[in-house]
């Protein structure tokens, strides 16, 4: 107690000094003659004087911010060890509620005013093409365009090229899916290896031949199986430009469901492999098959130093519009970019597909005649009934003229006289005969065309970069620069429709079980990368690296490649055949188990007090896994800690770069349990029954929940003992509502339980921040009232069912074609409700026939207590052509605007408006399944007080999912509902000028509707038929699937209202942190019971202090040594500085958060390690951006991702 008083006095003294210093500075502004003299140098204009004083005030505010930050650091340092961990000892109120007293340590929320300017700042000149505006203005009328069905007739004059020849680049390619109708290995064995083997021999036959390849996953497997002579030949082909590796990622990823961590990781894996094995550095992106395009991908490619890219699957109406306005080539710019630093040149293919009939020109009947694999006698032919003819001296003039006509027509859609003509399709060139047929016949055509100067055309084989280089040369700019007259575009290309109203939005939620498993693997990979890198660095510094299992690096490499493989646009999308999905699932589970082993080994070393006592024994792991899965399609089963007379220890890993206060729940074998810190200090715990069903307790298994404060990226240690601690071992109380059903309910003497046969009255749960009301009949959420507000916010939940059309076109793995409005879900029996209440959390569980929903409210200060935790266990395996949805109704009036995120990286505005008549029958479309996904709906009213006809003004509701599916709105999809994929826990918000409600999820995706703002989450879909997009199967392999969400309600502060017409939006810092809590849960690793007493276990604090709370440590990735299976001494540090909105209330949040104007001192970041080498590089480490420097202070602009080559010692 004496020490605590000393700390309090010391903290108060520091604060007084700081306040007095600020007073002196303000006084200096008024009286300092030097400043007055300096002011005299300005013009006497009142505006100039005012501007000078504003600048002085800004400087003083920044100085004050720094002083407050120093005060915070000093007080936290002084209080860090005074009371040890949180002493949160709850007590029970007479009204039946639990109260958790505030912690003795202070919390700080100190945001620099400068850091708030980004979300408010002007973004420079608006791009000519903003996709939200384009989508709102297009007619989507689907008029028959003639031979180009989805376009229009194209005319030209033969003299159009008199002054400048048409330059044609025919680009041979073969699109190889790493799994779709066959598994990855079967495709490789039966087709891909033959394509690549033929490539080597056939390209060497003629130096004029060219070929491009994209999927490094296949290339790496082939490389491991070829001899040195063939490898040397491949390097020569790359070196002389005959072979180009385009994009260079591990796969061609889906851009709707993939999280930006995984997109970056597969790009790094591919680029690092290419650099090491081929010495190749990709220059151009090639994405012909993803089902829609996110602006996240061009940002990542540009930061990887690519200068150009190509896309194909864009809504046919947008293609038609861009073709008509000569906008098929543009500079793709990020919405926040004010100086064009994110610009990348993008080519959009104009026609229906990337196959040969749809690439030479507008008429597929003619283009098909120039696909020489379809020559008579082959296995495939032309659907238009006119076959190709081999090119001979007698027909070359006629055939060349016919082809040139198509080239000329296609070229009239672009702004330059350089033309790109892809020549390929899926798994093409697997036979030598096709190589000969295509290359020989086209070369004869080229030779003829090039020999006729009066035709004004030069045609040749080329790579993708050959085409872009020629275009840059023709337009007189450097590679990657904006050619004169070419437009700038911002936005995304979701949702994709290839014909009629067939929107490819079903895949956003197809096979959600595997989408969820992907996110679990991703979180484990990031955690394993960080812990492994830190453990190896500390082991090397301590001189015990020889005893550490460095060979775990091979497990990391395999997991990187597994995660990368699953980002493929037929894997994470859920659009592969059932056997292929099983193959993916087995790979994912194997890598997940391996990553748990990497984490266990690293955590074992790092928590040892005496590192020299470390011994690695693979046969007897020191730590156990937190959970296990029996097979790839089973849900995890949590490890049960067996308690006896000896203490049991548990190591807790916090993967966040922020210190966190979380409730950690463990399964134990007895309700008589005490939990202590590593120093032996007892902690208050909540003990609950563990339930196997609505009414059955699991015998001899109990849940103990304890609030724990864990260091950033660190490890904590808990001790569990058998026995009771009266004031601190606190049982949960339970009420079960049977609603008239004759069911027997398990009881246990340790837990008060009350059974209510027919109660239907609404009831509420509450914590220090909010009161949450539920329906007594359905058990579903009805409303939320924040404790500082009198008015409730309506947030009602209901379950819905979508069917599919009765016509020939039905929903399938790709498409969402509903039969109209969603209908209420009607279970056979009323739900059984179980309400659990305790000191640290309370929850409502509603058991329906096909879904069990849990809504949990944490009674903790900080991030955990500020939002609702919502999870669902879904099982629709007995349904036929049904899709189960969860809808949230709110009374937020967003005036037709809402926001969804993309890939967990950025947030885009959406709007509702008039619908296209063709789409009136569609209820809505849903958008992707990502990792942090957010959908944001906000009331746009100006004031804080509410109007009775609008609901509370200024509300923002944010739904954060992990991953999560989402839909757009009743009324159709087209112009105003280009449902965007979302990604960071599914963030979406209806956002008003003064309120925001947010929700985060880990599985399905939310959508928003204009009618009193609704959010909808698609939980699962079961469809019995194919949707005619090539798969040949329905979706009938459903699994029991868990979904996880956070629902966050925020209010705007007075004077921080949103302006009209936002081009983008940003989550609050609270929203970002809520998303991170959801996506990176604490891992609990019990010390194996059979371990004898050994050296003391100590918490591990790798960082000297938490990173600024707008920084995210994306990865700390150990780089490969010359030996593929071993680590080098260098790591890749990836940091992301997030853009955030300061305009939402940030008082009494209960957690620490400071920003630093984008500056981080890396040299002092890692506790116990020195940064001995630091070099900024391109995103994938192929290009150094500066020379290594002695300075380790770095700066990032908001939204930017930066990569550093780092050596710790």
Q: How confident is the model at residue 1058 (pLDDT cuts 50, 70, 90)?
A: low
Distances in Å between the Cα of 1053 and the Cα atoms of 944, 1047, 1141, 1147 are 8, 20, 11, 10
With a CB cutoff of 8 Å and minimum separation 6, the contacts of 45 are none
Q: Is the pLDDT of residue 1126 over 60?
A: yes
pLDDT digits (tens, 9 = 90+) for 318-349: 999 999 999 999 999 999 998 899 999 999 99
- Report H helices in 246-349: 260-277, 296-303, 316-324
Do you find a cis peptide bond into 211, omega within 30 degrees of 0? no
Instruction: For the full predicted model, state whether its pTM sits above 0.95.
Output: no
pLDDT digits (tens, 9 = 90+) for 101-159: 877 776 777 888 889 988 887 666 789 999 999 988 898 889 999 999 999 999 999 99
Sign of the CA dihedral 945, 948, 950, 955?
Answer: positive
Distances in Å between the Cα of 382 and the Cα atoms of 175, 247, 388, 396, 707 are 20, 31, 8, 20, 67
Separation between Cα atoms, residue 964 and residue 985, nearest integer Å: 7
Q: Is the pLDDT of residue 943 over 50?
A: no
With a CB cutoff of 8 Å and minimum separation 6, the contacts of 380 are 373, 374
Separation between Cα atoms, residue 503 and residue 494, nearest integer Å: 9
Q: Which two tokens stand for residue 18?
A: 């700081």
pLDDT digits (tens, 9 = 90+) for 1067-1114: 999 999 999 999 999 999 999 987 666 668 999 999 998 899 999 999
Torsion, CA 775, CA 781, CA 782, CA 787, rounded to 10: 120
Q: How confident is the model at residue 762 (pLDDT cuts 50, 70, 90)?
A: very high
Highest mean pLDDT among 296-305, 904-913, 982-991: 296-305
Do you find a cis peptide bond into 442, omega within 30 degrees of 0? no
CB 411 within 8 A of CB 350: no
**pLDDT greater at residue 1014 or residue 2:** 1014
Q: In this predicted structure, which of 240-249, 557-566, 590-599, 956-965 has the lowest mean pLDDT?
A: 956-965
Mean pLDDT of 1030-1036: 97
Mean pLDDT of 556-568: 98
Angle at 453 between CA 449 and CA 459, to 5 degrees: 35
- The pLDDT of residue 102: 76
Mean pLDDT of 451-476: 98
- Ranges of beta strands (E only) in 1025-1182 are 1041-1051, 1083-1086, 1111-1120, 1127-1137, 1153-1154, 1159-1161, 1171-1177
With a CB cutoff of 8 Å and minimum separation 6, the contacts of 499 are 150, 316, 352
- The pLDDT of residue 1052: 83
Q: Is the pLDDT of residue 931 over 70?
A: no
With a CB cutoff of 8 Å and minimum separation 6, the contacts of 531 are 598, 599, 602, 603, 606, 653
**pLDDT greater at residue 821 or residue 40:** 821
Active site residues: 289
Residue 589 phi, psi (nearest 5): -65, -40
pLDDT digits (tens, 9 = 90+) for 466-519: 999 999 999 999 999 999 999 999 999 999 999 999 999 999 999 999 999 999
Q: Is the pLDDT of residue 528 over 50?
A: yes
Q: How confident is the model at residue 993 (pLDDT cuts 50, 70, 90)?
A: very low
pLDDT digits (tens, 9 = 90+) for 41-59: 445 556 666 666 666 666 6
Looking at the chain, the whole-number percentage of residues with pLDDT higher than 90 is 72
CB 1107 within 8 A of CB 1166: no
- The pLDDT of residue 964: 46
Q: What is the mean pLDDT of the chain?
A: 87
Strand order from edge to edge, sheet including 1201-1208 = 1111-1120, 1127-1137, 1201-1208, 1171-1177
CB 955 within 8 A of CB 992: yes
- The pLDDT of residue 67: 52
pLDDT digits (tens, 9 = 90+) for 155-214: 999 999 999 999 999 999 999 999 999 999 999 999 999 999 999 999 999 999 999 999
Q: Count of CB atoms within 10 A of residue 162's CB? A: 10
Separation between Cα atoms, residue 676 and residue 897, nearest integer Å: 50
């Amino acid at each position: 107690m004496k020490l605590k008083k000393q700390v309090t006095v010391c903290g108060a003294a520091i604060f007084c000094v700081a306040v007095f210093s600020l007073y002196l500075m303000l006084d200096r502004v008024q009286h300092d003659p030097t400043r007055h003299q300096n002011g005299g140098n300005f013009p006497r204009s009142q505006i100039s004087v005012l501007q000078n004083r504003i600048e002085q005030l800004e400087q003083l505010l920044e100085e004050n911010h720094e002083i407050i930050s120093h005060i915070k650091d000093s007080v936290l340092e002084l209080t860090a060890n005074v009371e040890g961990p949180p002493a949160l000892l709850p007590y029970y109120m007479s009204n039946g509620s639990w109260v958790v007293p505030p912690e003795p340590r202070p919390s700080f929320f100190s945001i620099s005013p400068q850091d708030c300017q980004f979300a408010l700042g002007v973004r420079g000149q608006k791009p000519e093409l903003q996709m939200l505006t384009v989508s709102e203005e297009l007619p989507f009328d689907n008029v028959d365009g003639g031979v180009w069905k989805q376009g229009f007739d194209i005319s030209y004059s033969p003299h159009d090229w008199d002054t400048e020849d048409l330059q044609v680049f025919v680009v041979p390619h073969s699109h190889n899916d790493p799994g779709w109708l066959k598994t990855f290995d079967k495709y490789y064995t039966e087709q891909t290896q033959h394509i690549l083997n033929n490539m080597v021999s056939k390209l060497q036959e003629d130096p004029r031949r060219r070929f491009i390849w994209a999927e490094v996953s296949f290339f790496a497997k082939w490389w491991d199986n070829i001899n040195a002579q063939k490898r040397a030949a491949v390097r020569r082909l790359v070196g002389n430009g005959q072979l180009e590796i385009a994009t260079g990622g591990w796969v061609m990823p889906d851009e709707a469901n993939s999280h930006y961590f995984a997109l970056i990781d597969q790009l790094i894996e591919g680029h690092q492999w290419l650099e090491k094995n081929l010495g190749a550095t990709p220059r151009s992106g090639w994405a012909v098959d993803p089902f829609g395009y996110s602006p996240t991908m061009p940002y990542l490619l540009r930061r990887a130093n690519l200068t150009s890219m190509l896309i194909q699957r864009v809504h046919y109406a947008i293609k038609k519009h861009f073709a008509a306005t000569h906008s098929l080539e543009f500079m793709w710019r990020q919405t926040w970019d004010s100086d064009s630093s994110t610009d990348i040149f993008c080519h959009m293919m104009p026609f229906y597909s990337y196959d040969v009939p749809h690439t030479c020109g507008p008429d597929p009947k003619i283009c098909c005649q120039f696909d020489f694999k379809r020559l008579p006698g082959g296995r495939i032919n032309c659907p238009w009934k006119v076959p190709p003819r081999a090119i001979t001296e007698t027909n070359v003039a006629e055939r060349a003229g016919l082809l040139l006509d198509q080239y000329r027509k296609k070229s009239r859609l672009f702004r330059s006289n350089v033309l790109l003509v892809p020549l390929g399709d899926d798994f093409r060139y697997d036979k030598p005969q096709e190589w000969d047929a295509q290359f020989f016949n086209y070369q004869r055509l080229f030779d003829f065309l090039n020999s006729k100067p009066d035709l004004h055309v030069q045609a040749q084989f080329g790579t993708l970069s050959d085409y872009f280089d020629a275009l840059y040369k023709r337009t007189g700019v450097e590679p990657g620069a904006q050619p004169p007259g070419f437009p700038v575009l911002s936005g995304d290309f979701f949702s994709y429709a290839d014909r009629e109203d067939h929107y490819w939005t079903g895949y956003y939620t197809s096979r959600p079980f595997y989408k969820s498993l992907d996110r679990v693997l991703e979180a484990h990979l990031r955690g394993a990368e960080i812990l492994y890198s830190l453990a190896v660095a500390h082991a090397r510094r301590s001189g015990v690296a020889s005893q550490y299992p460095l060979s775990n690096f091979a497990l990391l490499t395999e997991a990187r490649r597994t995660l990368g493989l699953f980002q493929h646009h037929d894997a994470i999308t859920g659009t592969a055949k059932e056997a292929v999905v099983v193959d993916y699932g087995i790979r994912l589970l194997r890598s997940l188990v391996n990553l748990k082993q990497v984490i266990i080994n690293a955590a074992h070393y790092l928590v040892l007090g005496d590192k020299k006592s470390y011994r690695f024994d693979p046969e007897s792991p020191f730590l156990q896994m937190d959970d296990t899965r029996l097979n790839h399609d089973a849900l995890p089963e949590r490890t049960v800690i067996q308690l006896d007379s000896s203490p049991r220890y548990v190591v807790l890993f916090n993967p966040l770069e922020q210190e966190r206060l979380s409730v950690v729940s463990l399964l134990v074998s007895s309700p008589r349990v005490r939990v202590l810190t590593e120093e032996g200090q007892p902690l208050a715990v909540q003990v609950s029954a563990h339930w196997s069903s609505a009414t059955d307790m699991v015998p001899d298994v109990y849940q103990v929940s304890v609030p724990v404060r864990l260091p950033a990226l660190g490890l904590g240690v808990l001790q569990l003992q058998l026995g009771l601690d009266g004031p601190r071992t606190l049982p949960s109380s339970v009420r079960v509502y049977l609603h008239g059903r004759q069911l027997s309910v398990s009881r246990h003497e340790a837990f008060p339980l009350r059974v209510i046969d027919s109660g239907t009255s609404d009831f509420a749960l509450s914590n220090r921040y909010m009161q949450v009301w539920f329906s007594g009949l359905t058990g579903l959420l009805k409303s939320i009232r924040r404790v500082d507000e009198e008015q409730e916010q309506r947030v009602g939940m209901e379950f819905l069912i979508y069917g599919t059309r009765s016509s020939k076109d039905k929903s399938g793995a790709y498409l969402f074609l509903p039969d109209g409005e969603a209908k209420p879900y009607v279970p056979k029996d009323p739900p059984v409700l179980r309400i659990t209440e305790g000191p640290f959390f309370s929850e409502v569980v509603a058991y329906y026939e096909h879904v069990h929903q849990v809504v949990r409210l944490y009674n903790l200060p900080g991030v955990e207590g500020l939002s609702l935790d919502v999870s669902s266990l879904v099982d629709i395996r007995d349904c036929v052509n049904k899709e189960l949805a969860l809808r949230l109704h709110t009374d937020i009036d967003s005036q037709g605007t809402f926001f969804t995120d993309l890939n967990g990286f950025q947030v885009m505005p959406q709007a509702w408006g008039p619908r296209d008549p063709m789409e009136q029958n569609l209820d809505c479309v849903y958008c992707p399944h990502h990792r942090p996904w957010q959908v944001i709906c906000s009331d746009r009213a100006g004031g804080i007080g509410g109007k009775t006809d609008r609901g509370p003004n200024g509300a923002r509701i944010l739904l954060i999912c992990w991953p999560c599916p989402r839909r757009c709105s009743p009324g159709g999809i087209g112009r105003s509902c280009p449902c965007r994929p979302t990604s960071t826990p599914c963030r979406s918000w209806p956002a008003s000028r003064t309120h925001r409600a947010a929700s985060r999820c880990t599985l399905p995706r939310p959508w928003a509707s204009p009618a009193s703002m609704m959010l909808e989450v698609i939980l699962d879909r079961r469809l019995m038929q194919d949707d005619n997009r090539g798969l040949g199967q329905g979706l009938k392999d459903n699994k029991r699937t868990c979904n996880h969400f956070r629902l966050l309600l925020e209010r705007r502060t007075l004077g921080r209202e949103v302006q009209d017409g936002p081009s983008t939006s940003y989550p609050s810092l609270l929203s970002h942190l809520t998303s991170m809590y959801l996506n990176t849960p604490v891992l609990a690793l019990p010390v194996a019971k059979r371990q004898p007493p050994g050296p003391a276990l100590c918490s591990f604090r790798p960082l000297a202090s938490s990173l600024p709370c707008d920084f995210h440590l994306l990865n700390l990735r150990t780089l490969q040594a010359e030996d593929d299976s071993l680590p080098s001494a260098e790591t890749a540090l990836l940091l992301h500085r997030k853009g955030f909105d300061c305009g939402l209330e940030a008082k009494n949040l209960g957690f620490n958060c400071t920003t630093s104007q984008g500056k981080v001192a890396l040299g002092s970041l890692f506790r116990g390690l020195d940064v001995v080498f630091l070099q900024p590089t391109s995103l994938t480490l192929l290009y150094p951006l500066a020379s290594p420097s002695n300075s380790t202070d770095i700066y990032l602009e908001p939204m930017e991702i930066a990569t550093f080559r780092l050596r710790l010692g």
